[in-house]
C-alpha cells in the first residue's frame, strides 16, 4: 500500500502507533457509531455533540493521551461547538445500553480481522467457543458530587460483568450495573442474554447458581464453573471415581450430580470434577470442585481442569486495563460516565489485542507472550498520537476504513515487520528479596535518605 509521506515517516519510526491509529480509524467510523447510538439509546439524543465526539474524548483519556476530560477540552476548545459543562453532561447521561453495545460492536468489527491473520491458535475446545466470565468493581472516585462529600470512605461508581475470549484475547461483551453494592449474581439474567448456543462459560464460584446453570442449559450453552458450597439445589449420585493424574501429579476424581430447579421442578444431571490442592486455601479448603455439563466426548475431566485455568487470563486483562490503560477515571463520579469510560478502555484493550495478534503473526508467540511489554507499547502510542493527528490529514486515515478485511490484515502485518523489538522488551527483574520488618512510624517520624545510605556504606 502506498502511504503519504508524513504517515510513512511515522511508520518508519513508530509503526505500532500507526497500527493502533489505523485500527481505531476502522472502528470509529462516524456513520457506524451514530447508528449504534440511535439503535441503543433510550432517552438520550444527538443535538450538537455527537456520540463519536464523546467517544474520541474518552479514548484520549483512557489511552493517556490527555490526563482528563477537562484537559482535553482546554486543548480542543476551538474545535467544539458546545461548552465544557455540556460535554460533562453528555458523558454523565450516557446510557448503559449504549456503552454495552459499544463493546460488542468493537469485538464484532475486529473479529474478522483477527481471523484473517495467519498462525492463529487452535480452538481451546472443539465445536465450542470458550468465554471467561468475571466481575470487575470500579474503584472509588473523587468526592466531586455533592452527596458524596460528607463521606471519608471511597465512593464507587459501579461494576461490570465482562466476557473474555481467551483464544483471540478480546473482551467481547459487558453487563453494566450502576449499584456498586449489588451482588454479581443479580446480573446473571442480563448476562444470559449475551450467551449464544455452543458457548462454554468458564467462571469462578461466585457465578455458581442453580438458575444460571439451567439458563445456560436452555440456551444450549455449556459451563465450567467452580462449585459454591451453599448456592445449589443438588444431590450427588454414586461414588467419586478416579479418572487420571493431572500435570502436577494430582489424582482427579469425577462424580455425577443432579440439579433441581425449584421453580420448574426440572432436573439436570451434570459432572463434578474434584481436584485436590497442593496446599489448603485461606478458608481451609483442601480440594476444589468444578461443575460442567460438557459431554465426556467433548472434554474429559483432565480437559475440564485445564479449561478452568483459562479463568486467570481475564485477571491479567483487568490488570492491563488498570495499569497500561486508564479504565478507572477518578474525576468522573457519575456512574454512567465512569462506566462509559470503562467500556471505552475495554475497546482500547481490544485494539491492543489486535496489535498483539498481528505481532504474533509476524514475530511469533514467544516474543509477544514472554518479552513484549504492553506498558512500553501503550506509552509510545500515547506519546505519538497527538503528532499523528497534526501531521497526517484525515482523508489518509479514511483509507483504512475502506480496505477489505484481507487488505487491512496485510497492511498491519507490513507495518509490524518494521517494528524494532528492543523498544518494547520487558526488563525482567530478579527474584524478590524478603522485606525487612517495618519500624513504627510513631517513634520514627521521618528519615533522611542520605543518612540511611551513608550508614549502609559504612
For the stretch 6-46, pLDDT in tens is 788 888 888 888 899 899 999 998 899 999 999 999 888 88
Q: What's the pLDDT at 115?
A: 92
| Residue percentage of the chain with pLDDT more than 90 | 43
Q: What's the pLDDT at 154?
A: 86
Question: Which of 123-127, 256-260, 284-288, 447-451 is the least confident region?
Answer: 284-288
Q: What's the pLDDT at 324?
A: 77
Does residue 254 have a pLDDT over 60?
Answer: yes
**Residue 127 DSSP SS3:** coil
Band the pLDDT of 3: cuts 50, 70, 90: low
Band the pLDDT of 4: cuts 50, 70, 90: low
Q: With a threshold of 0.75, does the pTM exceed it?
A: yes
Q: Which position has the grid cell 444450549?
A: 220
Element holding 129 (H helix, E strand): strand 129-137
Helix, strand, coil distribution of the chain in percent, nearest 5: 50, 15, 35
Band the pLDDT of 291: cuts 50, 70, 90: very high
Cell of 240: 467419586
Q: How far apart are CA 418 and CA 117, in angstroms?
A: 17
Q: How far apart are CA 287 and CA 259, in angstroms?
A: 21
Strand 251-260 versus strand 222-226 pairing type = unpaired
Which residue blocks in 147-290 are alpha helix, DSSP H?
188-192, 210-218
Are 203 and 133 contacting, i.e. CB atoms less than 8 angstroms apart? yes
Phi then psi for residue 251, to 5 deg, are -80, 130
Average pLDDT for 47-75: 89
Q: Where are the domains of the chain?
A: 5-95+329-424, 205-310
In angstroms, the Cα distances linking 299 to 109, 130, 168, 203, 276 are 30, 12, 21, 17, 19
**Residue 244 DSSP SS3:** strand
Q: How far apart are CA 200 and CA 402, in angstroms?
A: 34
Mean per-residue pLDDT over the chain, rounded: 88
Amino acid at each position: 500500500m502506498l502511504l503519504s509521506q508524513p504517515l510513512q515517516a511515522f511508520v518508519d519510526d513508530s509503526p505500532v502507533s500507526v497500527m493502533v491509529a489505523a485500527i481505531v480509524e476502522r472502528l470509529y467510523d462516524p456513520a457506524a457509531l451514530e447508528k449504534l447510538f440511535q439503535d441503543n439509546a433510550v432517552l438520550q439524543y444527538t443535538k450538537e455533540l455527537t456520540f463519536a465526539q464523546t467517544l474520541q474524548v474518552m479514548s484520549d483519556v483512557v489511552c493517556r493521551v490527555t490526563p482528563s476530560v477537562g484537559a482535553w477540552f482546554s486543548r480542543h476548545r476551538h474545535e467544539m461547538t458546545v461548552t465544557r459543562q455540556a460535554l460533562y453532561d453528555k458523558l454523565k447521561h450516557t446510557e448503559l445500553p449504549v456503552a454495552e453495545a459499544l463493546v460488542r460492536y468493537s469485538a464484532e468489527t475486529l473479529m474478522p480481522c483477527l481471523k484473517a491473520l495467519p498462525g492463529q491458535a487452535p480452538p481451546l475446545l472443539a465445536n465450542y467457543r470458550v468465554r471467561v466470565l468475571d466481575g470487575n468493581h470500579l474503584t472509588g472516585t473523587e468526592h466531586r458530587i455533592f452527596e458524596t462529600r460528607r463521606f471519608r470512605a471511597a465512593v464507587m461508581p459501579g461494576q461490570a460483568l465482562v466476557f473474555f475470549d481467551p483464544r483471540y484475547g478480546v473482551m467481547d461483551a459487558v453487563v453494566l450495573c450502576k449499584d456498586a453494592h449489588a451482588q454479581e449474581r443479580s446480573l446473571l439474567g442480563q448476562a444470559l442474554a449475551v450467551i449464544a448456543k455452543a458457548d462454554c462459560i468458564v467462571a469462578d464460584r461466585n457465578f455458581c447458581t442453580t438458575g444460571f446453570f439451567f439458563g445456560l442449559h436452555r440456551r444450549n450453552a455449556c459451563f465450567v464453573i467452580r462449585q459454591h458450597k451453599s448456592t445449589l439445589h443438588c444431590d450427588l449420585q454414586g461414588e467419586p471415581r478416579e479418572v487420571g493424574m493431572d500435570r502436577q501429579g494430582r489424582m482427579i476424581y469425577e462424580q455425577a450430580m443432579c440439579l433441581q430447579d425449584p421453580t420448574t421442578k426440572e432436573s439436570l444431571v451434570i459432572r463434578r470434577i474434584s481436584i485436590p490442592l497442593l496446599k489448603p486455601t485461606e478458608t481451609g479448603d483442601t480440594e476444589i470442585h468444578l461443575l460442567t455439563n460438557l459431554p465426556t466426548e467433548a472434554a474429559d475431566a483432565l480437559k475440564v481442569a485445564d479449561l478452568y485455568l483459562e479463568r486467570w487470563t481475564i485477571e491479567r486483562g483487568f490488570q492491563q486495563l488498570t495499569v497500561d490503560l486508564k479504565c478507572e477515571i477518578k474525576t468522573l463520579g457519575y456512574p454512567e460516565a465512569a462506566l462509559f469510560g470503562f467500556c471505552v478502555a475495554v475497546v482500547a484493550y481490544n485494539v491492543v489485542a489486535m496489535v498483539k495478534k498481528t505481532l504474533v503473526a509476524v514475530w511469533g508467540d514467544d516474543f509477544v507472550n514472554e518479552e513484549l511489554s504492553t506498558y512500553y507499547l501503550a506509552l509510545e502510542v500515547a506519546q505519538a498520537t497527538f503528532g499523528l493527528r497534526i501531521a497526517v490529514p484525515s482523508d489518509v486515515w479514511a483509507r483504512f476504513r475502506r480496505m477489505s478485511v484481507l487488505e487491512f490484515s496485510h497492511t498491519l502485518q507490513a507495518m509490524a515487520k518494521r517494528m524494532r523489538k528492543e523498544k518494547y522488551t520487558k526488563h525482567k527483574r530478579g527474584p524478590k528479596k524478603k522485606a525487612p520488618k517495618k519500624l513504627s512510624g510513631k517513634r520514627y517520624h521521618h528519615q533522611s535518605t542520605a543518612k540511611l545510605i551513608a550508614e549502609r556504606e559504612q
